[in-house]
Every structure is written in C-alpha cells, then in structure tokens.
Amino acid sequence: MAYVDGFVLPIPKKKVAAYKRIAAIAAKVWCEHGALDYKECVGDDLNTKCGIGFPATIELKRGETVVFAYILFKSRAHRDRVNAKVMKDPRMNNIDISDMPFDINRMVYGGFEVIVSA
C-alpha cells in the first residue's frame, strides 16, 4: 500500500513567496528521486465549524497562515530510499535551515500508511 509523508507548519503570510521558492526546489528534487506526488498547499479557508481547525491546533500567531503538505510514495521502504537520495542531493544542502521562512520547531510531521485511496 502507498505511503505518505505529511506535514503542517505555520508560516508568516509575508513569507509565503519565499517559502514557495524553497518548496518548488524541494518538489523537483523529491520527484526526480522517485516520489510519486508532491503537494504544498497554503491555507485559504481555515475557519472551520467542524472539529478543531488548523489555526488552533498549531497555535497560529497574528499574521500567520498554515501550510499543509504531503509527499506520496509506493511504500515506506520506497520513502526511505527516496528520502536518503534527497538528503544527499546538493540542491537540498544549499538550503540554509537557519534562514527558513518559518519556525521549523513548530512544524508537525509524520509518515502515514495509506489505508483508503480513490
């Protein structure tokens, strides 16, 4: 069954364009190394009346929005192989994590086994 790495992070609205540039590089690198799909999405309709919305969950601050993203793989083993290649790719080493347009310590991340797919 397929496997997904997913993450959610708060980002200052004024830094979305800078983040998008980094995400575009990351998408290219992951897909070139075998990821089946790569999506990065910025919050648009975050005021939900059902459940707990993303703003409350990750404690958005004034002027922030949410990025929701996922990368699709054939399996967890495939994910591990692709991610190992990505981490060795020089394009990823050129990204300075100390200058990220978001607080990496507030990012929520995990690997997920797909149980339903349409």
- Give CA separation, 83 vs 57, 58, 88, in Å: 27, 25, 9
Tens digits of per-residue pLDDT, 68-101? 999 999 999 999 999 999 999 999 887 766 778 8
Strand partners, 68: 8, 41
Q: Which of 111, 105, 93 is nearest to 29 (CA)?
A: 93
Give 113's contacts (C-beta < 8 A, 6+ positions apart): 1, 2, 3, 76
Average pLDDT over residues 39-52: 91
Our CA angle for 51, 101, 18, nearest 5°, is 105
pLDDT for residue 56: 87
Our CA angle for 11, 30, 99, nearest 5°, is 35
**Domain range 3-113, its CATH number among 3.40.50.300, 3.10.400.10, 3.30.70.100, 1.10.40.50:** 3.30.70.100
Q: Which of 115, 92, 96, 116 is nearest to 104 (CA)?
A: 96
Does position 14 have pLDDT exceeding 80, yes or no? Answer: yes
Domain ranges of the chain: 3-113
pTM of the model: 0.91
CB 83 within 8 A of CB 16: no
Tokens encoding 56: 């409350």
What rounded mean pLDDT belongs to the chain?
93
CB 73 within 8 A of CB 5: yes
